[in-house]
């Protein structure tokens, strides 16, 4: 039966787009963090929405589950198959056409396999900004961004991927093609199907195309790194910038001393330009549509006010684009430094800003008391209250053994604290296979049951990314 299915895929897509040899499948079977590895009957590389639809119908009639995959940069194992060898990976990288840029409507219609950076570059070439931006932008794809409702570094001003999307084309679990590719900013016609598929991590439908918003390209951007000695000061600084710069504030990222020390250990060229690597380094970006001088002056006035109020102790303003880029590279390299350092426990939580200081102080204290020597590699999108609260094993311990022994208890400790502070256990990375049990434990019974009801209704055969997000 499996052989005949592979033959049918080959007839449909062409033999070269049905990968069955182990060495061909291998790059698709392990997640970016190398935390999950699975097996697959085949990796399928369709070129059109009609091909995706036909694949789903074939899989449906053979009870073969489908794992949608984009750039495979997800951090929760959502795009990795299980170990049965009975699932197929449907990778959308060949569906990479920009279908239309509508200058009047300020929208771009594109296929799911378009790489995020390519979208940004195409938009910029026409003097538009496509504001979604994240460290994996050179390889993640818009279908994956939509499926995970990715956040990144511009959320403060432009919102999550969900906020940037106006319409979707989706292949349902039955293989039907839903064409919701309208570029409308208002549409109150019943339940919002678009928002249902966004963030569903491939469990409710396969996103094949989308209409996304474009914005005018800012004419100037100023980037600065500042030093603060506490989270309280960092949040006061954020509030000051929000008040004085309002919508010109496009980035507000936090990096701790420990996270930048780890960066420097693995990437010496990424050393913090602020003297003495202070307790907290904040990366701030202002963008303007008026003039370079206007935003530069505003930045200087706000920084002066912050110095006077003792919120900050040092600041470096990037003098040119290349220095600004180097500040951002330093921020984005922390994830890579963590990967170099070896196995670690990553968290991606949101806490109301008013409770963030309490969360960090109490959780750090509990963590140090229970696991002496652990290192907190914390950084994140402070402007969104989104903290990457990461735990690295004590120096000298075997990271794999440490994680195997303590992972469950550490996750529980962090998530219990998140609950006390009324936060979320996943701000932007999603649930995937990593946090299925945690979602069950922390989402609330009613919300979790409603999610399962939706999954059963839309995918009664459970063939789309089964056992990711929710198990039914
Ligand atoms: P994949 O990893 O291939 O898939 C992710 C999930 O989406 C899976 O469940 C998969 O089944 C599903 N999926 C993929 N494509 C489709 C589709 N077309 N239809 C339906 N389901 C689909 N994330 C953030 O939010 N913010 C960050 O700042 C950020 N920074 C990162 C930095 C680095 C260095 C790395 C490695 C990752 C980072 N991520 C970040 C995580 C990741 O890049 C995002 O989750 C991204 O949106 C995933 O896109 P992808 O194309 O790689 O999706
Ligand atoms: C980031 O903010 O850099 C990403 O979410 C990746 C990470 O958490 O490591
Ligand atoms: Zn992040």
| Tens digits of residue pLDDT in 24-71 | 999 999 999 999 999 999 999 999 999 999 999 999 999 999 999 999
Domain covering 98-216 in this structure, CATH number: 3.30.465.10
pLDDT by residue (tens digit) across 188-236? 999 999 999 999 999 999 999 999 999 999 999 999 999 999 999 999 9
pLDDT digits (tens, 9 = 90+) for 238-272: 999 999 999 999 999 999 999 999 999 999 999 99
Which of 329, 348, 383, 385 should be mutated for ligand 2, with most atoms under 8 A from CB? 348
Q: Detail the DSSP E strand segments found in 130-276.
A: 165-172, 177-180, 205-213, 215-216, 220-228, 249-256
The average pLDDT across 378-402 equals 96
Residue to substitute in 38, 51, 56, 79 for testing ligand 1 pocket (most ligand atoms within 8 angstroms of CB): 79
Q: Could you tell me the pTM of the whole model? A: 0.98
Residue nearest to atom 21 of ligand 1 (CA): 202
Interior angle at CA 293, CA 134 and CA 117, nearest 5: 20
Nearest CA to ligand 1 atom 10: 79
Alpha-carbon distance 380 to 398, whole Å?
A: 26
Give the residue whose CA is nearest to atom 1 of ligand 1.
Answer: 72
Q: Pick from 67, 76, 148, 292: which is nearest to 132 by CA?
A: 148
**CB 135 less than 6 A from any atom of ligand 2:** yes
222: its two tokens: 């100023």
The whole-angstrom separation of Cα 208 and Cα 205 is 9
Instruction: Provide the CATH number for the domain formed by 348-420 in this structure.
Output: 3.30.70.2740
Ligand nearest to the CA of 137: 1
In this structure, which ligand is nearest to the CA of 384? 3
Question: Which of ligand 2's atoms lies nearest the C-alpha of 253?
Answer: 2
Q: How far is the CA of 335 from the centre of ligand 2 (A)?
A: 6
Find, among 360, 368, 415, the residue nearest to 387 by Cα: 360
Question: How many whole angstroms separate alpha carbon 250 and alpha carbon 463?
Answer: 40
Q: Which ligand is nearest to the CA of 331?
A: 2
Tell me: pLDDT of 13 over 80: yes
Binned at pLDDT 50, 70 and 90, residue 96 comes out as very high
Q: How far apart are CA 192 and CA 167, in angstroms?
A: 10
Domain ranges of the chain: 2-91, 98-216, 220-341, 348-420
Tokens of 210: 């989308």
- Kindly tell me if the per-residue pLDDT of 334 is higher than 90: yes
Give the nearest ligand 1 atom to 31 CA.
2
Q: Ligand 1: which residues within 6 Å by Cβ? A: 32, 67-75, 78-79, 92, 112, 134-136, 140-141, 143-145, 147-148, 150-152, 201-202, 206-207, 335, 428-429, 432, 465, 468
Alpha helices in 126-250 (DSSP H): 142-148, 155-158, 161-164, 193-197, 231-245
Task: Choose one of 76, 89, 134, 465 to mutate for the ligand 1 pocket test, by most ligand atoms within 8 angstroms of C-beta.
Answer: 134
Instruction: Give the pLDDT confidence of 107-125 residue by residue, as tens digits.
Output: 999 999 999 999 999 999 9
- The minimum-distance atom of ligand 1 relative to the CA of 32 is 36
Look at residue 141 and give its three-state secondary structure.
strand
Percent of the chain topping pLDDT 70: 100
Contact 352, 360 (CB under 8 A): no
Residue having the nearest C-alpha atom to atom 14 of ligand 1:
144
Question: 155 C-alpha vs ligand 3 centroid, how far in Å?
Answer: 10
- Map tokens 């990314």 to a residue: 465
Q: Nearest-CA neighbor of 90 among 54, 137, 37, 36?
A: 54
Ligand 3 center from residue 465 Cα (angstroms): 24
* Separation between Cα atoms, residue 211 and residue 180, nearest integer Å: 9
Whether the pLDDT of residue 290 is over 90: the answer is: no
Cβ neighbour number for residue 167 with a 10 Å cutoff: 18
Fold matches, 220-341 and 348-420:
yes
Fold of 2-91: 3.30.43
Residues 192, 187: Cα–Cα separation, whole Å: 9
Q: Does residue 271 come out as left (phi exceeding 0), alpha (psi in the -120 to 50 range) or beta?
A: beta
Q: Which two tokens stand for residue 277?
A: 């690597």
Q: Give me ligand 3 centre to Cα 379, in Å.
A: 8
Q: What is the DSSP string of 88-129?
A: EEEE-TT---EEEEETTTTEEEEETT-BHHHHHHHHHHTTEE
How far apart are alpha carbons 96 and 297 in whole angstroms? 42
pLDDT at 291 over 90: no
The angle, 0 to 180 degrees and rounded to 10, between the axes of the packed helices 2-13 and 49-62 is 170
CA dist 414 → 349, 360, 388, 400, 405 (Å):
9, 10, 11, 19, 16
- The pLDDT, as a whole number, for residue 389 is 97
Architecture of domain 220-341: 2-Layer Sandwich (3.30)
Is 20's pLDDT higher than 90?
Answer: yes
Residue 335, ligand 2, Cβ within 6 A: yes
CA 379 to ligand 2 center in whole angstroms = 8
Secondary structure letter of residue 320 according to DSSP? S
Q: Whose CA is nearest to atom 9 of ligand 2?
A: 335
d(CA 98, CA 85): 34
Pairing of strands 42-44, 87-91: parallel
Closest C-alpha residue for ligand 2 atom 8: 388
């Amino acid at each position: 039966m499996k052989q005949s299915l592979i033959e049918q895929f080959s007839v449909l897509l062409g033999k070269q787009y049905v990968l069955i040899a182990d060495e061909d499948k291998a790059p698709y079977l392990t997640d970016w963090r190398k935390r999950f590895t699975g097996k697959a009957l085949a990796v399928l590389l369709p070129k059109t929405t009609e091909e995706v639809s036909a694949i789903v119908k074939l899989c449906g009639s053979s009870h073969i589950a489908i794992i949608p995959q984009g750039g495979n940069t997800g951090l929760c194992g959502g795009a990795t198959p299980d170990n049965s060898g009975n699932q197929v990976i449907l990778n959308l990288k060949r569906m990479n056409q920009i279908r239309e840029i509508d200058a009047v409507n300020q929208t771009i219609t594109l296929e799911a396999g378009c790489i995020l950076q390519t979208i940004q570059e195409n938009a910029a070439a026409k003097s538009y900004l496509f504001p979604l931006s994240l460290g994996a932008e050179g390889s993640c794809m818009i279908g994956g961004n939509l499926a995970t409702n990715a956040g990144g570094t511009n959320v403060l001003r432009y919102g999550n991927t969900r906020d940037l999307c106006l319409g979707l084309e989706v292949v349902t679990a039955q293989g039907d093609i839903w064409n919701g590719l309208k570029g409308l900013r208002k549409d109150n016609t019943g339940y919002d199907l678009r928002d249902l598929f966004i963030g569903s991590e491939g469990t409710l439908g396969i996103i094949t195309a989308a209409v996304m918003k474009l914005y005018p390209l800012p004419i100037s951007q100023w980037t600065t790194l500042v030093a603060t000695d506490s989270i309280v000061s960092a949040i006061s600084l954020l509030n000051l910038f929000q008040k004085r710069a309002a919508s010109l504030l496009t980035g507000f990222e936090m990096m701790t001393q420990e996270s930048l020390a780890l960066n420097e250990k693995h990437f010496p060229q990424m050393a913090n330009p602020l003297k003495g690597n202070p307790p907290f380094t904040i990366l701030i970006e202002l963008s303007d549509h008026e003039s370079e001088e206007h935003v530069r002056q505003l930045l200087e006035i706000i920084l002066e006010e912050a110095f006077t109020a003792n919120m900050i102790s040092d600041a470096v303003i990037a003098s040119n684009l290349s220095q600004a880029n180097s500040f951002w590279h330093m921020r984005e390299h922390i994830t890579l430094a963590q990967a170099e350092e070896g196995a670690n426990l990553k968290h991606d939580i949101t806490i109301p800003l008013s409770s963030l200081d309490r969360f960090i102080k109490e959780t750090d204290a509990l963590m140090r008391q229970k696991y002496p020597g652990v290192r907190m590699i914390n950084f994140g999108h402070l402007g969104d209250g989104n903290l990457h609260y990461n735990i690295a094993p004590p120096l000298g311990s075997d990271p794999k053994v440490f994680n195997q022994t303590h992972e469950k208890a550490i996750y529980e400790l962090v998530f219990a604290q998140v609950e006390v502070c009324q936060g979320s256990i996943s701000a932007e990375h999603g649930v995937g296979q990593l946090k299925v049990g945690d979602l069950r434990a922390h989402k609330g019974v009613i919300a979790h049951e409603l999610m399962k009801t939706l999954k059963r209704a839309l995918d009664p055969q459970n063939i789309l990314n089964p056992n990711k997000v929710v198990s039914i």
